[in-house]
Amino acid sequence: MVRVKGGLLRGAREGGVLAWRGIPYAAPPVGPLRFRAPQPVQEWDGIRDCSRFGPAACQLPRRRATAFRPASSEDCLTLNVLAPAVGRRTKLSLPVMVFIHGGGYSVGSSQDFPGQGEAFVRTGRVIYVNFNYRLGTLGYLDFSRYSTPQRTFERNLGLRDQVAALEWVRDNIRSFGGNPNNVTVFGESAGGNAAITLMATPSADGLFSRVIAQSPPPGAAYSPELAASWAAEFLFELRRLTADTESEPADLLAHADVAHLLAAALTIQTRTPDARPGTFPLAPVVDGDFLPERPVDAFRHGRAHRVPLIIGTNDREGSAFRGRVDILPTSTPRIQALFASAPADVHKAMRQAYPGLHTKRTSSDFGGDFAFWFPSVTVGSLHSRVAPVHFYRFDLAPRLMHVIGLDATHGIELFALFNHVDTAFARTATSLGGRRVFIGAGERMRRHWLHFACTGVVDSSWPAYTETDRQTLIIDEVDRVESDPRGRRREAWQQFLPDL
């Protein structure tokens, strides 16, 4: 049994790991708490069975028929803890790794990648935590302008949930053998953006000791004016779906069916990449309060939390964003819109950095670099002025991924990192070869992440990233270090997006 704020927990032994699933870290955000900041967890009677995951946040079904789809609910604020099944937990004080899932702030859950975290915990060196947070309409649209004396709508709910989960870790992780003063936050994609944003969130100060940001889009945090325009568009679509043209906005939002909320959000998501290229409507809002400024600006002025940072991207981030997930500025009209907003005298340098920009491959790389790589380089450069930074690029992809033109695309490193290599996707991806080296890359990556989480520094073979030499670890069949890889592209982007 384990006691936490709220009551007693019963977990389960899963091989060499002790697991507690579905632990509430805040009150259910339902009824009058919809669109409100997370509230303290409610106490329960007796012993709570924590052998199963809690529901995922509300989201639309995955588009791939074979994709795993957990049950979802507005009552989703739960987390999971994995600990080594050795010794007395009360006598341990292990480092803690807290993972934030990705999914564009619209899909995903703590159940992504079955067995997630076990490869870390089985080493006996760390406690592993992951959690659900509110997504989409319920977590990332800003309806504060529709607040009334009777009903308050707060901003940045998903971000507030993440802070609440970290506060739970601080207050309770000793019961599982973890050290609340040695917490590493890491995440991928939207989870990487969350990690970067938390570094610029004042209320997160002191809740973590270091950060690992995998393929983050650091520029995805927008002004209240832009967020308000998305909220207005959403409300128009919601009225259309519900055929309700008379209810006050506060009443409509408070009582709308979740299916209608999800459908209206999908319309806005689908429209935005063409209407406002380079933006995404489900993202943190720079509200001047909970998130006082753009994270990139916090890094620029040295106001981000000064903790050590590992940050990096994959070789070809943009190649996966095709078809129904085509949200990046990769089409000719979207790219032209970005060029129109950039200084005219730098257009030539950008076209030289991306020759053949009209082709599918080059335009995909342009979009991926715009969203992920260059903003990550910018954050790494700025933060290196005040704290240790180490930059990586994941280049390894099984042969089939090269054959189909995806290469080391967005998210592929997670299969290696979490040793998730026996799924249908991973076996198919390695069917033409490359399985052994892919597994090996994951093992090396985990060693780096574990060393960082346990000691606060990286292995001596991985030099620090600075604005002077930009030393970058290239994770490939054989790892290597390069100085300022793709420097020509970086210089072009610095002129093209001087105010990123």
Annotated catalytic residues are: 189, 317, 410
Q: Are 46 and 53 in contact (CB under 8 A)?
A: no
**Cα dist from 174 to 75, 93, 418, whole Å:** 26, 7, 25
| SS (HEC) of the chain | CEEECCEEEECEEECCEEEEEEEECCCCCCHHHCCCCCCCCCCCCCEEECCCCCCECCCCCCCCCCCCCCCECCCCCEEEEEEECCCCHHHCCEEEEEEECCCCCCCCCCCCCCCCCHHHHCCCCCEEEEECCCCHHHHHCCCHHHCCCCCCCCCCHHHHHHHHHHHHHHHHHHHHCEEEEEEEEEEECHHHHHHHHHCCCHHHCCCCCEEEEECCCCCCCECHHHHHHHHHHHHHHHHHHHCCCCCCHHHHHHHCCHHHHHHHHHHHHHHHHHHCCCCCCCCCECCCCCCCCCHHHHHHCCCCCCCCEEEEEECCHHHHCCHHHCCCCCCHHHHHHHHHHCCHHHHHHHHHHCCCCCCHHHHHHHHHHHHHHHHHHHHHHHHCCCCCEEEEEECCCCHHHHHCCCCCCCCHHHHHHCCCCCCHHHHHHCCCCCHHHHHHHHHHHHHHHHHHHHHCCCCCCCCCCCCCCCEEEEECCCCEEEECCCHHHHHHHHHHCCCC
How far apart are the C-alpha atoms of 186 and 182, rounded to whole Å?
A: 13
> CB 273: neighbour CB atoms within 10 A?
21
**Cα dist from 379 to 136, 204, 223, 421, whole Å:** 25, 18, 19, 31
Q: Report the DSSP beta bridge partners of residue 186.
A: 99, 212
Q: Which two tokens stand for residue 283?
A: 């993202």
How far apart are the C-alpha atoms of 204 and 79, rounded to whole Å?
A: 18
- Sign of torsion, CA 202 292 235 64? negative
